[in-house]
């Protein structure tokens, strides 16, 4: 198994170290980079904050020995976000489609009047099974060092115009409660 430090960087976030935990650090970031290109990001409330600026705490491997209060860049290994999205969203949807198709075929054996009901039950059952499998994969990935976020570097503190403190370009005053 490859050590985390050898992975090429995929997505990254800038945040502030808020606590240390052995070889790891808890880093508070603003979940914005994945939403920045979205046309609806200015009105989005899916992240429970103004314009999707909810604070998120990430447990990351502290390779740089960053200290509490330092601004850092946290990276995920290349491809991890895509793999996670595929497992969490793609697999359950595929299970729904296959379950509905199997239910439709099975229901057709008992007559046309029950085919739709059996297809619905088959699809819902498979969807629930797909979400349970995705949850299991998520728990396994949390223990796998290949999927661990890594603090790649410390970054200089950069206040916004007017000297207002910021994390990753977002004013600290925008922090949701």
Q: What is the pLDDT of residues 85-144, one digit of tens each?
A: 888 889 999 999 999 999 988 888 877 678 888 899 999 999 999 999 988 988 888 777
Residues 88 and 69 in one domain: no
Cα–Cα–Cα angle for 46, 52, 54, nearest 5°?
100
136 and 90 part of one domain:
yes
Q: For the chain, what is the domain count?
A: 2
- State whether 31 and 113 are in the same domain: no
Residue 30 contacts residue 167 (beta carbons within 8 Å): yes
**pLDDT for 45-92, tens place per residue?**
444 455 545 788 888 888 888 889 889 988 887 777 788 888 888 999
The reported pTM is 0.57
Sign of the CA dihedral running 87, 90, 91, 92: positive
Q: Higher model confidence: residue 43 or residue 113?
A: 113
The CATH number of whichever domain residue 161 belongs to comes to 2.40.50.140
pLDDT score, position 171: 52
- Structure-model confidence comparison of residues 137 and 177, the more confident one: 137
Task: Locate the DSSP E strands across 22-158.
Answer: 24-30, 55-61, 71-77, 150-154
Euclidean distance between CA atoms 114 and 108, whole angstroms: 7
Q: Could you tell me if 128 and 91 lie in one domain?
A: yes
pLDDT at 32: 56
pLDDT at residue 1 above 80?
Answer: no
On whether both 8 and 73 belong to a single domain, the answer is yes
Residue 110, CA distances (Å) to 57, 60, 107, 118, 120 in order:
53, 54, 5, 10, 15
Q: Is residue 119 a contact partner of residue 103, using CB atoms and an 8 Å limit?
A: yes
Q: What is the pLDDT of residue 15?
A: 87
Q: Long-range contacts for 51-55 (Cβ within 8 Å, ≥24 apart)?
A: 53/170, 53/174, 53/175, 53/176, 54/30, 54/176, 55/28, 55/29, 55/30, 55/175, 55/176
**Mean pLDDT of all residues belonging to the chain:** 75
- The per-residue pLDDT for 48 is 47
Co-location of 106 and 65 in the same domain: no
Which residues span the domain enclosing 40? 4-77+148-174
Do residues 65 and 31 both lie within one domain? yes
Judgement on whether residues 16 and 73 belong to the same structural domain of the protein: yes
Instruction: Output the pLDDT for position 94.
Output: 93
Give pLDDT, residue 174.
47
What is the structure's pLDDT at 8? Answer: 54
Same domain, 65 and 37: yes
pLDDT top residue among 135 and 7: 135
Question: How far apart are the C-alpha atoms of 50 and 43, rounded to whole Å?
Answer: 8
Do residues 99 and 164 both lie within one domain?
no
CB atoms within 10 A of CB 86: 13
CA gap 157, 106 in Å, rounded: 62
pLDDT of residue 176: 43
Residue 66 and residue 12 share a domain: yes
């Amino acid at each position: 198994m490859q050590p985390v430090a050898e992975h090429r960087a995929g997505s990254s976030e800038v945040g502030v170290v808020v606590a240390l935990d052995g070889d790891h650090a808890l880093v508070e970031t603003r979940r914005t980079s994945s939403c920045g290109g979205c046309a609806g990001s200015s009105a989005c409330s899916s992240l429970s904050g103004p314009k999707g600026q909810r604070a998120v705490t990430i447990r990351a491997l502290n390779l740089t020995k960053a200290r509490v209060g330092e601004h850092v860049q946290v990276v995920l290994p290349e491809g991890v976000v895509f793999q996670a999205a595929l497992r969490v969203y793609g697999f359950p949807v595929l299970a729904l489609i296959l379950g509905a198709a199997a239910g439709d075929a099975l229901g057709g054996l008992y007559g046309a009047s029950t085919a739709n009901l059996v297809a619905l039950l088959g699809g819902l059952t498979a969807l629930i099974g797909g979400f349970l499998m995705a949850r299991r994969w998520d728990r396994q990935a949390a223990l796998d060092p290949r999927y661990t976020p890594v603090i790649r570097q410390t970054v200089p503190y950069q206040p916004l115009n007017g000297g207002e403190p910021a994390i990753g370009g977002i004013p600290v005053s925008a922090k949701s409660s």
